[in-house]
Amino acid sequence: MITVQRPAISRAIAEARDKGDLSENAEYDAAREAQGLLELKISKLQDLIANAKIIDESKINTEQVGMLNKVTVKNLKTGAKMVFTLVGESEANLAQGKLAASTPIGKALLGRRKGETVDVNAPAGIIKFEILDISL
């Protein structure tokens, strides 16, 4: 984005500027908007990289639920079993079983141990889960 897209947008702005009156130049407005969106994306990615932390999987505790743990739970009302991996918000993808730790289920599971029952305050009401397994 920085080495390819940013210079391309700068060139597009320069070309549009050369075409005359900027107040009625849709090409110029579009190029400026594209530049703003690109700079926002670059800023978000730089912030993400600056705040990233490398986690040593050998030091992840499986005695209680924490980040990057794969947790198998059973819904006590329906009997359905589900497997979640607790991740940060930017990595969450429910289709892949990656649940953000900041969700109601994630918050309820954090710090709990195998065999415990947790009450999750969900929009649909309180859901009771039993923690069946904690792994990597």
pLDDT of residue 129: 94
Q: What pLDDT, on the 0 to 100 scale, is given for residue 57?
A: 72
- Whether the CB-CB separation of 109 and 131 falls below 8 Å is answered with yes
Cα dihedral sign, 92-96-101-107: positive
Q: What parts of the chain have a pLDDT lower than 50? A: none
Instruction: Determine how β-strand 81-87 pairs with β-strand 98-100.
Output: parallel
What's the topology of domain 5-50? Helix Hairpins (1.10.287)
pLDDT of residue 51: 81
Q: Which of 2, 36, 32, 38 is nearest to 15 (CA)?
A: 32
pLDDT of residue 49: 87
**What's residue 108's pLDDT?**
93
pTM: 0.63
| Fold (topology level) of 57-135 | Chitinase A; domain 3 (3.10.50)
**Predicted pLDDT of residue 63:** 87
pLDDT in tens, 19-39: 877 777 788 888 899 999 999
Handedness of CA 126, 127, 133, 134 (dihedral sign): negative
3-state secondary structure of 114: coil
Q: What is the pLDDT of residue 80?
A: 94
